[in-house]
Amino acid sequence: MMPAGQLPFSIPEAIVGRLSAARHLTALTGAGISAESGVPTFRQAQDGLWSRYDPTELASPQAFERNPTLVWQWYAWRRGIVDRAAPNAGHLALVALEQFFPNLVLITQNVDSLHQRAGSRAVIELHGSLYRTRCSREGKIISGYSESATPPICPECGAFLRPDVVWFGEPLPAEAFERAAQASENSDVFLSIGTSSLVFPAASLPLIARQNGALLVEINPEPTPLSDQADYALVGPAGLVLPALLDALRAARQTPRS
Ligand code: OAD
């Protein structure tokens, strides 16, 4: 039996070789990377948010129109969970990878800011952030507002404020997606980490990378629709696989090539 906390496989040489030679590394993360920080994912059967809550009641413009107080409170509850969480070994390994790849582009579907709190520099947020609030009428990001009403009221126009997150039926921020697609296209190696690969257009990014010649590596304890299309599916939690990948890369960089 493997000791707890150790991967039952080593990182394939071919991945390490491609990473050692790569200039552009792009990573896409989903809720799974924050699971080991105690932040619930969406689609896991036991404790995924969408197994306990109905997204149409909480994460759509119609839901906010029907019951803005409930929607605001639900996001405030999620922000509370994230406030008490800390970045885990997976987040930290992605920060450390920036030593090898100063241009590393980290694209996330997460709204929890744990990558930024870990210290990642260039994070592209595809689905917004729990830590930004915007006017539901004019879209402007608002920071100084009174919490006395739920939801709070826009100090400029009097409309309700809402979390600056992407809801079902809403488009992704165009500029963020454009940058993400560009980075995917330019990548030599693309890591798809902790995402069920079910939600588009984010799920199209690994495919763009693969079509343009990147080595596509998935990191996930469970199979996803992407697994068969990836060059490698590393089956395990991000908090173990990413540090192992980092160690393997460090070892390869220290070993002079013959
Ligand atoms: P999901 O909940 O759909 O998928 C989470 C994935 O993480 C699953 O494939 C798990 O197997 C995997 N996972 C669990 N623990 C893990 C670990 N320790 N290490 C690595 N992987 C692990 O979450 P997302 O794919 O992020 O959108 O969901 C995409 C979008 O759907 C979210 O951004 C959200 C949701 O509706 C919006 O709210 C707009």
Q: Are residues 16 and 47 in the same domain?
A: no
Q: What is the largest CA-CA distance in the chain?
A: 68
Question: Do 150 and 213 sit in the same domain of this protein?
Answer: no
Query: 35 and 151 share a domain?
Result: no
CATH (domain of 108):
3.40.50.1220
Residue 75 lies in a domain: yes
Say what the pLDDT of residue 1 is: 40
pLDDT, one tens digit per residue, over 117-162 is: 999 998 999 999 999 999 999 999 999 999 999 999 999 999 999 9
Same domain, 224 and 141: no
Q: Which residues are catalytic?
A: 127
- DSSP-derived letter for residue 248 is H
45 Cα to the center of ligand 1, angstroms: 12
Q: What SS3 string covers the chain?
A: CCCCCCCCCCCCHHHHHHHHHCCCEEEEECCHHHHCCCCCCCCCCCCCHHHHCCHHHHCCHHHHHHCHHHHHHHHHHHHHHHHHCCCCHHHHHHHHHCCCCCCCEEEECCCCCHHHHHCCCCEEECCEEEEEEEECCCCCECCCCCCCCCCCECCCCCCEEEEEECCCCCCCCHHHHHHHHHHHHHCCEEEEECCCCCCCCHHHHHHHHHHCCCEEEEECCCCCCCHHHCCEEECCCHHHHHHHHHHHHHHHHHCCCC
Q: For residue 152, what is the domain's CATH number? A: 3.30.1600.10
Asked if 25 contacts 104 with a C-beta cutoff of 8 angstroms, the reply is yes
The pLDDT of residue 255 is: 65
Q: Which residue among 71, 199, 205, 218 has the greatest number of ligand 1 atoms within 8 angstroms of its CB, and so is best to mutate?
A: 199
Within a domain: 105: yes
Domain-embedded: residue 2 = no
Judgement on whether residues 160 and 251 belong to the same structural domain of the protein = no
- Rounded to two decimals, what is the model's pTM? 0.95
The reply to whether 141 and 66 lie within a common domain is yes
pLDDT of residue 200: 96
pLDDT (0 to 100) of residue 258: 47
pLDDT at 4: 56
Residue 3 lies in a domain: no
Q: Which of 182, 206, 191 minimizes the C-alpha distance to 246?
A: 191
Cα 158 to averaged position of ligand 1 atoms, centre (Å) = 35
Query: 216 with 250, same domain?
Result: yes
What is the model's pLDDT at position 6? 83
Residue 31 Cα distances to 51, 75, 82, 146, angstroms? 14, 15, 12, 30
Could you tell which of 36, 37, 43 is best to mutate to test the pocket of ligand 1, judged by most ligand atoms within 8 Å of the CB? Answer: 43
Indicate which residue's Cα is closest to atom 23 of ligand 1.
31
Asked if residue 215 and residue 135 are part of one domain, the reply reads no
Q: Are residues 59 and 71 in the same domain?
A: yes
Question: How far apart are the CA of 193 and the centre of ligand 1, in A?
Answer: 9
- pLDDT at position 257 is 52
Residue 253 forms part of a structural domain: yes
Strand partners of residue 86: none
Query: Measured from the CA of 43, which atom of ligand 1 is nearest?
Result: 2
Residues 255 and 211 in one domain: yes
- Return d(Cα 234, Cα 219) in angstroms, integer: 5
Residue stretches of the chain with pLDDT short of 50:
1-3, 258
3-state DSSP helix/strand/coil % of the chain, to nearest 5: 40, 15, 45
Same domain, 210 and 92: yes
Enclosing domain of residue 255: 12-39+87-127+172-258
Question: Could you tell me if the CB of 30 is within 6 A of ligand 1?
Answer: yes
Test site for ligand 1: of 106, 177, 193, 220, most ligand atoms within 8 A of the Cβ: 220
Q: What is the reported pLDDT for 256?
A: 56
Q: Based on the structure, what is the number of domains in the chain?
A: 2
Q: Are residues 109 and 221 in the same domain?
A: yes
Q: Is 243 in the pocket of ligand 1 (CB under 6 A)?
A: no
Please, which residues have CB within 8 angstroms of residue 21's CB and are 6 or more apart in sequence? Answer: 188
- 6 part of a folded domain: no
Would residue 1 count as lying in a domain? no
What's the Rg (C-alpha) of the chain? Answer: 19
- Is 95 within a domain? yes
Compute the Cα dihedral for 81, 83, 88, 92 and give only its sign.
Answer: positive
